[in-house]
Amino acid sequence: MAFMTGQPSRPAWSPMEEWWYRDIVDPGKLPLLAALVSFVMTFLVTRTVTRLIRAGHGPFRNVSAGGVHIHHAVPGVVLMVAGGFAGIATGQAGWPGVLAAVLFGVGAGLVLDEFALILYLADVYWTEQGRRSVEAVVLTTALLVMVLAGVVPFGVDALSEEERRQRGVLAGTVLLNFAAALVSLAKGKLWTAVAGAVVPLIAFTGAVRLARPGSFWDRRLYRNRPRTRERARRRARRHDRRWSPVTGRLQDLLGGTPDDELRPR
């Protein structure tokens, strides 16, 4: 007993406290968690403000200097640079490292909220193309959550300890799954490639199915195969009719509805 040994007894921890110290504090993931939370919150707050400005409600206004509209990606880049270099300088140790992670997360949220503007080099924020920003934020959030949860990419965490010891099996599994994920990505299936990095079956399924129209695979390998290209287009149309309304509503909920006159007809 504690009073007989002279050592103080550890206070009983709740399951949440146990998880906090075992999975976040002890592995040194607190800066990553801080960056993730600040990233997501910044995106949500920024989208709320921009939607209020668009609707003409509230005290918020676009910022301009010398007749030039200052996009919020500009301060975002500054914060990312400051947070990144501060994190390197502190070595992510203690609260300075957490503060650096928060700065980086806020900056990343501001930059990726305007990812589509950087991608297309045009002000497409409220257009159909602007939805690429929402996709980039959701994709980044999913990857960060997987890293935070300790999920090892390419299905390595599904291997037994004996298989882990066999370097050949491990290397072969990683290479095959990585190749399948790359093929899925080349076929225009971004989300399948991301999910397949964790679940090998998803990557292989995406790799063997038909490519999306306009993808790298379609442009390079289907150009001399008109029947295959037509089958791929028919399948893509069926898929889009089924799922586009659902994904569109989710994107509208997160990022706002694109301008009606700029929607594809």
> Hunting for tokens 């501060």 — which residue is that?
86
**Phi, psi values for residue 65, rounded to 5°:** -145, 120
pLDDT band, very low/low/confident/very high, at 156 (cuts 50, 70, 90): low
Query: Taking Cα atoms as reference points, which of 118, 129, 47 lies closest to residue 77?
Result: 118
More confident residue, 248 or 59: 59
Q: In this prediction, what percent of the chain has a pLDDT beyond 70?
A: 85
187-216 mean pLDDT = 85
Return the DSSP state at 154: G
Domains of the chain, by residue range, sit at 12-150
Average pLDDT of the chain, as a whole number: 82
pLDDT band, very low/low/confident/very high, at 65 (cuts 50, 70, 90): confident
pLDDT band, very low/low/confident/very high, at 162 (cuts 50, 70, 90): low
| pLDDT tens readout for residues 130-154 | 888 988 898 889 888 888 877 666 6
- Report the C-alpha gap between 258 and 243 in whole angstroms: 18
Question: How confident is the model at residue 262, as a pLDDT?
Answer: 45
**Phi, psi values for residue 11, rounded to 5°:** -60, 145
pLDDT band, very low/low/confident/very high, at 4 (cuts 50, 70, 90): very low
Q: Is 80 exceeded by the pLDDT of residue 197? A: no
What pTM does this model have? Answer: 0.73
